[in-house]
Amino acid sequence: MSRFYGFSPESSTEQVIEKFENEIIIRHNNQLLVGTVYVDLQNDRWAVAVAYNQSRHPGLHGHENMLEVKYSYSQGRENVVRMFRSDPLQETPIGAGSFTDPNAFVRYVITNERMLLNRPA
């Protein structure tokens, strides 16, 4: 189930996120993982993270995310989205243009993540 901080998404954006969470299952280190989307929008920096975890409920002490992906965008400073993947520990700049609307940024991130996983929308 997705989480939103500082953001109330349009219904179309919410549907894109929900579809991603319901459809995407990845294999990572011989485990099947499902993703949860987190959106955190601040005045000058927007971030969308996808935490991939096993589909079962965590134990008493919870669990660490098996794979984390974070996209960040600094509004007005650059036309680059920065993507960080926890495996491998690497940050990659993506030339994405500028976003004036947070919903467009969130939809771009979900589309890009699907493309990287080779899963059509």
Per-residue model confidence as pLDDT tens digits over 19-29: 999 999 998 88
Average pLDDT of the chain, as a whole number: 85
Q: Residue 27 has which token pair?
A: 């294999």
Place of tokens 């965008």: 73
Report if residue 121 sits inside a domain: no
The domain in which residue 21 lies consists of 3-116
Higher-confidence position of 43 and 63? 43
Query: How many domains does the chain contain in total?
Result: 1
Report if residue 63 sits inside a domain: yes
pTM of the model: 0.83
pLDDT higher than 60, residue 104:
yes
Report if residue 30 sits inside a domain: yes
Residue type, 66: M
Instruction: Note the pLDDT of residue 9.
Output: 87
